[in-house]
Amino acid sequence: MKILFVTDLYPIGEENIAKALFYFVQEWKNQGHEVEVIRSNFILNTLIRGRKIIEEKVYFEHDIKIYNLNFHTPFLFNIYNKLPKDFSLKNYDVIISHMPCGTLMANKLLKRDKIKYICGVHCSDIVVLKGFKYIFFKNELKKAYKKADKIAARSPVLKRKIEEIIPTIKDKTFVAYSGIKEEFIKKDIEQKSFNKEQLQISTVASLIKRKNVDILLKTLSTLQNDFHLTIMGDGKERKSLEKLAKKFKIEKKVTFTGKVKREEVIEKLKASDLFILLSNNETFGLTYLEAMATRNIVIAKENDGIDGIINHEQNGFLTKATPLELKKCLEKILLMSNSEIEQIRANSIETIKGISMEEAAKNYLKNIQ
């Protein structure tokens, strides 16, 4: 199959952006499909996100051809002018778009040629569809979803949300999970104790407001048990979070690592007992799966991101993103017996066995055939 993948959430070079879509593309290539990428950047949106504007040209990375296109206006004009003269959708079997910018771009391309169209849904799409200030984008996105042959919601929660907004798409919507590396799932993780008297807690996140790391710090400051929190990641909220740790007098119990490589993240997760991330508007979050694979008890925000993969009190815990509710959740875990803790861990390991990167990529394409 020859696939044209359109999104603005695709890394070029060493960009520090989410790589879930990159992994889909790489797996499809590894499975014998031919994939090309159009990275469609609305410049204002890129700047608001704090990302660099990358030179507009064709890149070749990891054996993938990437058309990097920058737009000052949200794709109002003839976008084919930015592509090679011989570019045609007829050279592809399917066009797959993800993120609002990608979907707006794909929808414009499809006005010239018609091929099979798959439209991905992320939290950003829901934000646009519910926001009055995005009225133009909202209407264009709705047109794209109705035009699409299939809708790939990135989590069960997102599937439910998009179907509530546009009920007519229910019959063509499926869940497109991300996955982690097969060898990582198969690798035996060393058994580890759960030391309630000296809890090792971790989180991995861009340090921005919607990740709710401040709630985590405030909650832990009231915890009676001794603990150490490792915060992996960096961002514009780091300084204020460091000040908050000092304000709560827990700065000696908190380590801010800054940005760390994926391999180091895994090693630190192996040394952790609890993984806590209560993000708002989380699309899915590969780090939750990695935490489960490394035998962490995972606490996530209910009705968001990983909800649907994590089932409350079975293979992890779901809670509201408030200090009171998080503390209740922690207290419940601390009252559990060792055998109950081990059962949660065993259930989480079983869960991730069916969510490898390879299987996620295969299932995506099975759903669109």
pLDDT surpasses 80 at 308: no
Nearby residues of 252 by Cβ (< 8 Å), 6 or more positions away: none
- Among 72-76, 191-195, 204-208, 238-242, which range has the highest average pLDDT? 238-242
Average pLDDT over residues 81-86: 89
CATH number (3.40.50.1820, 3.40.50.2000, 1.10.443.10, 3.40.50.80) of 182-353 reads 3.40.50.2000
State the pLDDT confidence band at 20, using cuts at 50, 70 and 90.
confident
Domain boundaries, the chain: 2-176, 182-353
What's residue 6's pLDDT?
Answer: 96
State the pLDDT confidence band at 189, using cuts at 50, 70 and 90.
low
- Among 1-5, 11-15, 54-58, which range has the highest average pLDDT? 1-5
CA-to-CA distance for 102 and 38, rounded, in angstroms? 8
Helix (H) or strand (E) holding 120: strand 116-121
DSSP strand pairing (274-277 vs 297-301): parallel
Amino acid at 83: L
User: What 3-state DSSP class applies to 234?
Assistant: coil
User: What separation in angstroms does the CA of 214 have from each of 180, 207, 242?
Assistant: 28, 10, 10
Query: Among residues of the chain, what percentage have pLDDT more than 70?
Result: 96
More confidently predicted of 286 and 229: 229
Q: Do domains 2-176 and 182-353 have the same CATH topology?
A: yes
Query: Among residues of the chain, what percentage have pLDDT more than 90?
Result: 58
Give which of 83, 85, 104 is closest to 95, Cα–Cα.
104
pLDDT tens for 101-111 read 999 999 999 98
Amino acid at 135: I
State the pLDDT confidence band at 337, using cuts at 50, 70 and 90.
very high
What's residue 42's pLDDT?
Answer: 87
Average pLDDT, the chain: 89
Residue 198 bridge partners (DSSP) = 226
pLDDT surpasses 90 at 260: no
What's residue 364's pLDDT?
Answer: 94
Nearby residues of 78 by Cβ (< 8 Å), 6 or more positions away: none
Q: What is the pTM of this model?
A: 0.83
What's residue 191's pLDDT?
Answer: 66
What's residue 186's pLDDT?
Answer: 58
State the pLDDT confidence band at 74, using cuts at 50, 70 and 90.
low
What's residue 219's pLDDT?
Answer: 95
CATH topology of domain 2-176: Rossmann fold (3.40.50)
State the pLDDT confidence band at 188, using cuts at 50, 70 and 90.
low
